[in-house]
Amino acid sequence: MKIETVDFYYLAMPTITTEGDGSQDALLVRVEAGGLVGWGECEASPLTSIAAYVAPMSHGACRPVRASVEGQELSAPADIARIARVIEWDSMDLLQAPHTWSGIEMALWDILGKAVGEPVWRLLGYKSAARKLPYASVLFGDTPQQTLDKAKAIRADKFRAAKFGWGPIGRGTASDDADQFVAAREGLGPDGVLLIDAGQIWGEDVDAAAARLPALRHVKAHWLEEPFHGSAYEAYAALAATSGAVKLAGGEAAHNVYMARHTIDYGKVGFIQIDCGRIGGIGPAKTIADYAAQRGVTYVNHTFTSHLALSASLQPYAGLRDHVICEYPAAPKKLAQDIAANPILRDADGEISLPDRPGLGIEIDTRAITKYLVDVNISVNGSTLFASKRFIST
């Protein structure tokens, strides 16, 4: 079959705030090939990713993503890898291209799975999809009391793991941060898996991050995520050498497999976090899952948006039984909740399983999300390069 149409749907909440909550907007991608429809989702800044799809060519190594996708043959996973290689080459100088391509790539896997009636994880070579332990991913409260309350609510909601991130961490003293960590632990209870996300706050200041290690050990934090800029491998490695039981986690910003490998090899993280909406989709994420497993590093998805993105982000390590933890958007905005008609819900043990349905197994509730559609129009020299469409009723 051939890739016939690629449509982008930019969705947004009525109001977007500056909080670090990635579920406030979404860029869905709908691809049609051989009469089948697949869906994917790009990470962040929908307008910019749309522009990278339709932009006029600058030169041979700076072509829009569109040039390498529409009309291409799509019959097997090798076709997806082939298109990815063409984009890597032909859009080499277009920085945004990997984010745009990521959503398309997911949709192509969705189509391939539907074509053969298999879930994507089976196309990736896994015999079964292991259950994963979802952690509730939330922001720290402004005060320890607020964090305590959030943690208690998460525990009451039967989550066995939680990640607290951003907010005031690193903006005050190490003692201030320790109060926050203790509050999170207290609310979560002694047995909950506690994860801490510093949101790159220390840049590459190893001492500042190291000053938080005693408190992190005290509360038995399972990992410390992104203490530094995503590319500050030297700082990661220096902190990892002294962090002991508190392993480092990072990698979400990787927009190619090299960056993810380097986060492992140079940065010495214990957990490699891959965002399928950035690294180029499911294929390169699977490459990194294999790479991590070979090196004793634990693979984790990075997902802060919809259950479509969640399904895509779980596929690459679905069959890796020792890689148990998964990020699970616990309190996304209504928009992100409304995207999937059949969300991936926790079972009685608080665990989740990937759907056994064909493709990504997620049904897009186009009726529910129509109200979030953002109308975009891009024209160049009087020609319309992009105009938002309404959803096609199926």
| Interface contacts to a copy of itself, rule CB under 8 A | 12, 16-22, 24-25, 43-48, 50-52, 54-64, 88-89, 92-96, 98-99, 199-200, 229, 231-234, 253, 255-256, 258-259, 262, 265-266, 278, 374-382, 385
Strand, helix or coil for residue 327: strand
Q: Which is nearer to a copy of itself, 256 or 353 (CB)?
A: 256
**DSSP string across 96-107:** THHHHHHHHHHH
Q: Which is nearer to a copy of itself, 135 or 166 (CB)?
A: 166
Q: Shortest distance, CB of residue 258 to a copy of itself, whole angstroms?
A: 4
Residue 367 one-letter amino acid:
R
Q: Shortest distance, CB of residue 39 to a copy of itself, whole angstroms?
A: 19
Q: Shortest distance, CB of residue 237 to a copy of itself, whole angstroms?
A: 12
Q: Which is nearer to a copy of itself, 331 or 374 (CB)?
A: 374
Q: Which is nearer to a copy of itself, 155 or 262 (CB)?
A: 262
Q: Shortest distance, CB of residue 335 to a copy of itself, whole angstroms?
A: 12
Q: Shortest distance, CB of residue 253 to a copy of itself, whole angstroms?
A: 7
Q: Which is nearer to a copy of itself, 259 or 340 (CB)?
A: 259
Q: Which is nearer to a copy of itself, 247 or 333 (CB)?
A: 333
Residue 153 one-letter amino acid:
A
- The answer to whether the beta carbons of residues 271 and 248 sit under 8 Å apart is yes
Q: Using alpha carbons, list the distances in angstroms from residue 248 to 104, 245, 325, 389.
A: 31, 9, 14, 43
Contact partners, residue 189, CB within 8 Å, separation at least 6: 155
Q: Shortest distance, CB of residue 209 to a copy of itself, whole angstroms?
A: 16
Strand, helix or coil for residue 212: coil
Contact partners, residue 54, CB within 8 Å, separation at least 6: 64, 66, 378, 385, 386
* CA 99, 100, 101, 105 torsion-angle sign: positive
